[in-house]
Structure 1
């Protein structure tokens, strides 16, 4: 159940395809539903996790090991992360120096991850064949990195959270009756103005969407609740239409390189939560 006094924790990261805008909709869908445990296997910026005040044990997972390590450092030593983070400056020179650097200390690595995320092009996370982060500088005038109080608030929110790096199927092995699973996979079909598919097709293929569809069947069989977001595309509707609710949501796309190329994007939301 969502806490009676919601505590809004600012997401630490800008994340392409992030769902901060969807938090009010998710809260309405949950209503007074009792949640045993909360699972988010495509964590990314974890906007829904941070935006809801669910009084339950949480499990966050992602394939991105550097991301999960960053959350671990914020949870354990937020002051140390801040000490390194505050030293960065939003300049092109500082960005590329940080991008090519390899900090030794885990807290410094987390600070670097956060800095690059907030100063990169559109908050995209992308690595080359050598596994090196290669997103260009974003030339952002508005440099809004998390402050110490943001890191401490996130640390508090992460206290009862299990953090793992890995595939979504493994992350959902321990889902049980009454658990809530929020699924926000990378979108792998082009729709509307969403250009993010260009960065996802090698990370999450349509074959993975089939695996996810089968996992949704498993979740329903276990008596768990799920909320799934995905592209508003006929192939997606056919794959995930399981007799549960399908809701159309709309947002302004923020991934296209030019503002003139951005527009409204419609997305699907599937859920087996009971209607209140």
Structure 2
């Protein structure tokens, strides 16, 4: 496999580009299959360049985009160039409201909206329709795009649109599970976390932790990123996990005072 550095092709709230840039030493040096049940932008996958991997996310639009790039990146890129040429406010809302049928046109729509919407946020309304307004960025095609290499990296990867527990249940001895769930805590104190709670409840956090305990007992290597909150720390401590605290910069807020350093925990086991 090529050792070329590939940057994630998506902007993703909670993405782990900062983690691989600042803490690359925390990842295991050897493992069998790489497993990621909350894929998002795939920063850790692209950084580690695993030979074998299982990638999954419950977001069907996201997974369709990975599948389209794996199978037919040229057609995705062709449609993306059309979006670049036609991009305007009217065009953005026209595409946002469209419902393309082919996998490659759905993927190009997803990429176009991700790159031109406000702060790269993914949010849907109660009807499941993407509803983020247009942002200030104009570039639909990026200098860092290397869809051919991305397609190559995904060639031998199993890509799923599945529940995180069933994905974690695939892990065996010496596999490496990297888990970056939506951040929710037992006592909400943060607006972004409150939005996540609609998608990922505290009961989900418990179910996730219990699935990871079973994987740990099977001999899998585990790393979890999560909010540095007492309820999260206690959940993993009670199940015998160790953790460390790291800081990151959050650029999600539209107000400057909301963009500040946040602490997260890194939970590790079996390496």
Normalising by structure 1, we get a TM-score of 0.90
| Counterpart Cα distance in 1 of 2:227 and 2:251 | 15
Cα shift at 1:149: 5.2
Whether 2:263 is the aligned partner of 1:266: answer yes
Name the stretch that deviates more: 67-76 or 253-262.
Answer: 253-262
Whether 2:8 is the aligned partner of 1:17: answer no
The count of aligned residue pairs is 268
Determine helix, strand or coil for the equivalent of 1:201: helix
Name the stretch that deviates more: 100-109 or 225-234.
Answer: 100-109
Q: Deviations over 1:222-262 (max 9, x none)?
A: 10001100001000000012444311111111111223321
| Counterpart Cα distance in 2 of 1:85 and 1:65 | 19
* C-alpha RMSD of the superposition: 2.3
Determine helix, strand or coil for the equivalent of 1:77: helix
Normalising by structure 2, we get a TM-score of 0.91
Whether 2:231 is the aligned partner of 1:235: answer yes
Partner of 1:86: 81
Is the contact made by 1:178 and 1:225 (CA closer than 8 Å) also made in structure 2?
yes
Determine helix, strand or coil for the equivalent of 1:82: helix
Answer 1 or 2: which has greater helix percent: 2
Cα shift at 1:111: 0.4
Partner of 1:67: 62
Structure 2: segments with no counterpart, 5+ residues? none
Whether 2:106 is the aligned partner of 1:109: answer yes
1:145/1:263 Cα in 2 relative to 1: closer, same or farther (>3 Å)?
farther
Structure 1: segments with no counterpart, 5+ residues? none
| Counterpart Cα distance in 2 of 1:51 and 1:194 | 30
Whether 2:119 is the aligned partner of 1:122: answer yes
Is the contact made by 1:119 and 1:140 (CA closer than 8 Å) also made in structure 2?
yes
Determine helix, strand or coil for the equivalent of 2:121: coil
